Structure 1
Amino acid sequence: MPYMTIENDIRLYYTDAGEGKALVFIHPPGMGSNVFAQQQALTANFRVVTYDMRGNGKSSASNKPITISLLTEDLHQLLRSLQIERAIICSYSSGGSVAQAFALRYPEQTEAIVLIGGFPEVRTLWLYFEFLLGIFTAKIGAISLLAKVLGTAHGKSQDEKRAIERYARLANQKDLFSMYKTMLHDRNTEHLAKLTVPLLIIYGNRDYYLHAYETTFKTYVPHARAIYIDKARHQIPTRHADELNAILTSYFLP
């Protein structure tokens, strides 16, 4: 299996397939790269890279406290290792914290960023509650319960639900707790005006508690574009994979 070693003892698991423009996918806490299994179809037109952030999936547990800066640097090192000079950084849900930070720190390596169900900070009550639930389940070590919830919410078939659940169970308890807390308190809004790269935001039209963030993004990033997927809620990479893949293909394929 492909691994990249950083800091001598941290091994990041990744997949790298296809040719063309590089699409790099960032998962939210706990889910790991398996949430992007259906985006492998994009290898017909793109170079598709997925990876497990430290403490998630098949990657090593972290040797230091999780911060957005640390996760951003991990991504930078991964791209350097794969000799990817510029990439379209695609993130799902709270993985967007890393995508936004990466684009701000390394604009020369960022062709564009795509936020699938993304937000610049947690400021809605329902989103705050979801983070607290993740923090609580990680704190008490209920990884199996959280994995079951994630699998049920994201999978369309029983096989897919079980696959997502099994992968989520691989998360390191300490790192998952740290990641949830870090992303809960991450604040990108005040930095968005410095974002110069293209920004594409993709929401489910039934993911109501995130829709208000479109206004925030467009206030600070006037060139941002938002696309809504009909009849979709939050779980776009799995439950609406065909629509997502079609959007990415039409938007970025020459």
Structure 2
Amino acid sequence: MPFAQCGNRNIFYDDLGKGPAILFAHPPGMGRKTFLKQLPLQSSFRLLIPDFSGHGESLSPDGNMTVSTYIEEIEAIRNAAGENELFLFGYSSGGIIVQEYAILYPKNVKGVILSGGYPKVQSDVFKVEHQIGINMVVFVPTLLAKLLSISHFNVKSLQLELYEHIIKSNRHIWRQFYIESLHFDCIDRLISLNAPLMLLYGSKSDYVNNNVKLYRKIIDTEIHFIRGAGHQLPTRKYNQVNELISCFIKKTVNLT
């Protein structure tokens, strides 16, 4: 597994396949094992799947994290991988990192895909969910790791693989990632996101998919609601997600 040097941090990432490069951004605590079901995409694309610092194999010597921290890490990975442009896939809170990078580095971004993405936490339910995550990391991190692994995979071996990866996370950074996600707001800057954008939502996840209204008001985008699905699309509805990723990238590449 290669790594990218970013200041005093070594950012480990999987580098699989060949073709247009997709970088995947994970939510708080979960690390690169979030995207186990996206690995078949390596037959057509180059997959860059990092553990952001404080997660999985990527330690954080200073124990701190901001959105800017992970923006720097994406840029370090892009340079280490020798890619001029990236497609970006952000799942859940990983989407805040993806959006911010696309706004700040538009020339480096070929397209953006958000699964359960949002530009700002607005609903009370969503705020409470973030606060619960913040508190659980402090008081019952192993329980939170178990709940995350069970909610994302129904196969016990994959649940165990994700659980063991989650509990490697630096608890302070894990908590800080939740806090950064809770207070993130790029609504006023969405107009600067010039790359093609695709949004994926589960039809059963109302408190998340209602965020689609915020994007529709500001920028044109491709939107898909996956019927009968909740929030955990990359792991629970991976066939549909992988097909939509493939179609979006191939269409975008053919247009340029």
TM-score normalised to the size of structure 2? 0.95
1:240 aligns to 2:237 (yes or no): yes
Match of 1:147 in 2: 145
1:172 aligns to 2:170 (yes or no): yes
1:1-254 to 2 correspondence within 5 Å? 1-8=1-8, 10-63=9-62, 65-140=64-139, 142-221=140-219, 223-253=220-250, 254=254
Structure 1 residue 133: Cα displacement: 1.0
Q: Aligned with 2:53: secondary structure? A: coil
Q: Is the 8 A contact 1:62 1:175 kept in 2?
A: no
Equivalent-residue separation in structure 2 for 1:215 and 1:225 (angstroms): 13
Structure 1 residue 65: Cα displacement: 2.9
Equivalent-residue separation in structure 2 for 1:68 and 1:56 (angstroms): 14
Deviations 1:87-134 (A, max 9, x none): 110010010110000000000000011000100011112211111011
Equivalent-residue separation in structure 2 for 1:205 and 1:137 (angstroms): 27
Aligned AA for 1:124?
S
The size of the alignment, in residue pairs, is 251
Q: Is the 8 A contact 2:6 2:72 kept in 1?
A: no
Aligned AA for 1:110?
V
Q: Is the 8 A contact 1:56 1:171 kept in 2?
A: yes
Deviations 1:20-66 (A, max 9, x none): 11111000000100010111100111111100111111111252631
Q: Aligned with 1:63: secondary structure? A: coil
Equivalent-residue separation in structure 1 for 2:170 and 2:229 (angstroms): 30
1:167/1:64 CA distance change after superposition, 3 Å: closer
Consecutive unaligned residues of structure 1, counting only runs of 5 or more, are none
Equivalent-residue separation in structure 2 for 1:197 and 1:189 (angstroms): 16
Structure 1 residue 165: Cα displacement: 1.0
Q: Aligned with 2:217: secondary structure? A: helix
The percentage of counterpart residues that share the same residue type is 27
Deviations 1:178-229 (A, max 9, x none): 11111111111111112111111000111111222111011111x2111111
Consecutive unaligned residues of structure 2, counting only runs of 5 or more, are none
Structure 1 residue 76: Cα displacement: 0.7
Aligned AA for 1:35?
T
